[in-house]
Structures are given as structure tokens and as C-alpha cells.
Amino acid sequence: MVEHLADLPTPLLADACVRLDVPLRVAPAGVRPVVPGQRVAGRVLPVRHHGSVDVFLEAYGSAAPGDVLVIDNGGRTDEACVGDLAVLEAAAAGVAGLVVWGLHRDTAELVEIGLPVFSYGSCPLGPTRLDDREAQTLVSARVGAHLVTADDLVCADDDGVLFLPAARAEEVLAAAARIRRTERTQAARIRAGETLRQQTAFDDYLARRAAEPGYTFRQHLRRVGGAIEE
């Protein structure tokens, strides 16, 4: 299932969540892969960073192959919280990638290592602080407004980072696959000369909206079988 999730772009998964009324949880805009084009999907391995790398090493001890380390550094932009040694150790522990709500450093080395790392960007400064550890340090991580745990999956690509409840991943995956098939068919028809307006009977939509101001384009798309917005 995780392999199939990794094969689906995050926009399709987000659209599937909307269609299924699965709460949307995405990392703040700007969290991107260190190497463009990289993507990762796996179970969340949560950790809260307090200024020392020891929490990462401890988290790796409970990692299952394919887990994705999700680091809560409070979105800080005054320090990097992860670098080449922590990423190398992640690879050695079987971790599939890292998502950082914060910054990384050692960019050249991370590119060479090749393990997917997502963050706000880079900073040469490491942490100089050492905060008190929290009871939830290895239980949950906050990424923006969202709290994630090992009960969640994370999917990340060039468009951003999306979190899904593992219990609903199969139905989200199936819905996203259906949406992708519809969109690919629509794209092929556009290239063949049939415009999107023709495919979606857009003139009919405008006429019905004029008669029924509450009629939305999403309702229309569902009636005609299109897939653009969700």
C-alpha cells in the first residue's frame, strides 16, 4: 500500500481526501525536498527536537523499515536541526526519508547521500540551545497546525507534504487512483482537440447556474463525471 501511495502525487491524494471527507492535513507551504523530484511515503516516525541529536538516535531504535522520520522543530528558521550524520544514520536504520518542520544543513552531503529530506531550507547554524524533553517527544510531532503520530502515514513530493490516517489509507488510495484515471482521460481528450469546456459541458453549467445560483461547478463535475477540482 505504501508503494502505491508513493506512486500517487500529493495533489491527487489531497483531492481524494476532500472527496471522502478525510480531514486535510498538510505541512506548511515551503516544506520541499532538498533534491527536487524526490518523493517519499511511509509510516510516521514522530520526534520532537529539543536541541540535541540524541532524540533522533533514540527514535531510530524503534524504526520499522520504510518509516519516515517526521521532525518537529517548531518551524524554526534560526537553526538547522538535522545534517549529514543524522541522515546517514536514518538510512542505516532503514528509514525511508525525513520530513522536517524546520531547517537542515550539510546540503551537499545530503544530496550525495540521496535519502529524501524535506524541509523549509538550509542554514549553516546548528542548535546552541538544549531545552527540556517533553513526555510526547517520541510519541507525536506537530507540523504546522497538525499533530501526527505513528497512526498516520506521510506522503511527500515537490508539491508538499500530506498526512493521512493509516486506517483510511486504502480508501484514499483507491479514490486517488480513480481520479488519476479520469484526469488522464481528460488530458488525452484535450490533446486530441476536445476542450475541457466541451468535456465538462461548461455552457450547460453556466445556464444551470444562471437558473440556480446555488449550483456549484463541483456539483456539476460530479454529475458529468469530471475530475478537476477534487
Binding site feature residues:
83-86, 105-106
Q: How big is the chain, counted in residues?
A: 230
In degrees, rounded to 5, the angle at the alpha carbon of residue 53 between the alpha carbons of residues 78 and 139 is 100
Cβ proximity of 41 and 68 under 8 Å: yes
Annotated binding site for Mg(2+): 106
Across the chain, the runs of DSSP E, i.e. the strands, are 25-26, 32-33, 40-48, 68-72, 80-82, 97-101, 103-104, 117-119, 140-143, 146-149, 152-157, 160-165
Annotated binding site for substrate: 83-86, 105
- Nearest by Cα to 68 from 43, 49, 101: 43
* Burial class, 125, CB count within 10 angstroms (exposed 0-12 / middle 13-18 / buried 19+): exposed
